[in-house]
Amino acid sequence: MKFKIDPKIDIQEILGMQSSPTFNLRRKRYIAIGFVVISAIIALVIWGKTGNTNTVQYKTEQVRSGELTVIVTATGTLQPTNTVSVGSELSGTMKSVEVNYNDRVKVGQVLARLDTSKLEAQVTQSKAALESAKAKVLQAQATVTETQSKLSQFQKVRELSNGKVPSQSEMDAAVAAFERAKADAASAAAAVTQAQATLKANETDLSKSVIRSPVSGIVLTRTIEPGQTVAASFQAPVLFTLAQDLTQMDLHVNIDEADIGKIQEKQKAAFSVSAYQKRSFEAQITQARYASTTTSGVVTYETILKVDNSDLALRPGMTATAEITVNKVDNAILIPSAALRFAPPIQQEKPATDLVSGLLPRPPSGTQQRNDTAGNGKQQKVWILKDGKPAPVTVTAGATSGGVTEVLTGELKPGMEVIVDTSTGAK
């Protein structure tokens, strides 16, 4: 059987696939999407090979030569070198107060006076008791003279009568009377001494009713007013506080236990106070005390600094911030302290890149190794750039202050660059 094919018949008619406008639009859309996907995959592969390379950039600072001053900072308060508290040993009513705050006083100057009415009466009473005791002494002496005369008479009569008269009992009574008279005389003399001591004590109390300055200085505080009652039953109340000499003051600062080993006597210091923010005052350490003070778990040691206050600008109680110079090095080779803490990153081996790995996240390209050799006086490594790569240099670090460290030994020279940090950038 033979079929005759007409060449004029379109193949689309044979296959039954007659085109339509909707089919043509859909086909173009699929072709465009496929092109975009293929282009994205190619771009990702290329980026995975060349576009994700991280470069490490190094920050450097210059090695320099200069002066290194190591300081210890501490805070404290200013106090007078010698402070005297003046009180009263006597109780009574304050009659007058003759000084006020900031008054300059001299040794022996009257500060205040107590009412002396009762004390004067006691003195008068003591004087009368003394006179009475003295009168009793005279009376006792007369009795001694009388009994002695009578005893002498008895002895003479007994001698003339050849021992017959007076009787032995009369003789014994005369002797006893004489001895009692002498004892009374001694007791009267002791009473005079006692009366004199009482009078002296009362006169002393009367003199202490006038409160005088024991030193020359300035009145810092005054806690009494005229008419107030002073009670000195158990301890002497403090009425005045005197600063002996404000031209020389002490600065009491608290040094942290980590820094106390650097503190020594005669070290220089500079301090400032809030009242004079643009002015610096000089001081010198005179004492570093061994007794410790613990506050909120922090151990400190009190240190005393001598301050010259000739112009009287500083006042007791001012809070001061002191910087104590504990070490000073001239012409030292100095590097940034950050260079001692720097260590270059450890580069990891780069994995092979394929289509899948290019689409997945990657692990970090490197990690920072730790420099565990830090420590004053120990050999440490710092890093410099050679041909764009970090190269180690071994040094011995010395004192550290203000973000710089002294280099004691090593191959570093002023002008060289040391690495202090890194920053990562993508090409």
Quick: pLDDT tens for 264-291: 999 999 999 999 999 999 999 999 999 9
Which tokens go with 166? 């007076």
Share above pLDDT 90 across residues of the chain, in percent, rounded to a whole number: 57
pLDDT at 138 over 80: yes
pLDDT band at 17 (very low <50, low <70, confident <90, very high): very low
pLDDT band at 193 (very low <50, low <70, confident <90, very high): very high
- Is the domain 71-81+243-328 a CATH 1.10.1760.20 member? no
* Domain 54-67+333-426 CATH (choose: 2.40.420.20, 2.102.10.10, 1.10.10.10, 1.50.10.10): 2.40.420.20
Instruction: Give the other-Cβ count within 10 Å of 93's Cβ.
Output: 13
DSSP 181: H
DSSP 262: G
Quick: pLDDT tens for 105-137: 999 999 999 999 999 999 999 999 999 999 999
Alpha carbon 174 to its chain's center: 84
Quick: pLDDT tens for 140-172: 999 999 999 999 998 999 888 888 888 889 999
- C-alpha span between 344 and 361 (Å, rounded): 24
* Domain 86-114+212-242 CATH (choose: 1.25.50.20, 2.40.50.100, 2.40.10.120, 2.40.50.1020): 2.40.50.100
The vertex-209 CA angle with 206 and 83, nearest 5°, equals 135
The full set of domain ranges for the chain reads 21-51, 54-67+333-426, 71-81+243-328, 86-114+212-242, 116-208
Largest CA distance in the chain: 216
For the ranges 96-100, 177-181, 389-393, the lowest mean pLDDT is seen at: 389-393
* Contact criterion met (CB below 8 Å) for 346 and 366: yes
pLDDT at 340 over 50: yes
pLDDT at 354 over 70: no
The order of strands in the sheet holding 104-105 is: 83-87, 238-243, 217-222, 104-105
* Contact criterion met (CB below 8 Å) for 329 and 399: yes
pLDDT band at 139 (very low <50, low <70, confident <90, very high): very high
CA distances from 133 to 119, 123, 187 (A): 21, 15, 10
